[in-house]
Amino acid sequence: MSTKEMQAKLIANMERWQQVEANAIKTTADIAAKVKNPIIKHVMEIIKRDSEMHALTQKMIVDTLKGTYTMTPDELADVWTEIEKHIETERQTIELAKEAKSYLKGAKMTVQEYLVEYLLADEEKHNALLDQLATIKKGMYPYGS
């Protein structure tokens, strides 16, 4: 596949995906509006907000392919002191999430366990996002060539 073909396929994929995210945003909003239970409402709200960010990320991928946005190791280096402080904050969130999980072990508190698991997975996701950013900053590409 030529680079041009690959980029066209990737853009088409991102555009289809944005449509699917739009459906996800609508369905979760509808359920959140209808449901009375605050916990279920909250979970729908989480997915809705994530789906909004997913759609923006798909748009960003398209924009980078069109050359609208780029990111260089130097631009990351400029803001790295602040990002490093934030990495420390993320480390604290993971510590707290793991501690909370340890208290819930074997306690048969399904809802709390469910929500803490969600938080831990999300904090680990933030950590991974920043780890990969650090790799890009070093001028190394974590995803192969």
Q: What is the contact surface with Fe ion in residues (CB under 5 A)?
A: 51, 54, 90, 93, 123, 126
CB of 93 to Fe ion, least distance (A): 5
CB of 123 to Fe ion, least distance (A): 5
CB of 7 or CB of 93, closer to Fe ion: 93
Instruction: Could you list the beta-strand ranges (E) of the chain.
Output: none
State the number of CA atoms in the 13 A half-sphere of 44 facing the CB.
17
CB of 28 to Fe ion, least distance (A): 10
CB of 79 or CB of 128, closer to Fe ion: 128
CB of 62 or CB of 123, closer to Fe ion: 123
Handedness of CA 139, 56, 13, 11 (dihedral sign): negative
Angle, CA 134 vertex, CA 132 and CA 135 arms, to 5°:
65
For residue 73 the two structure tokens come to: 């190791």
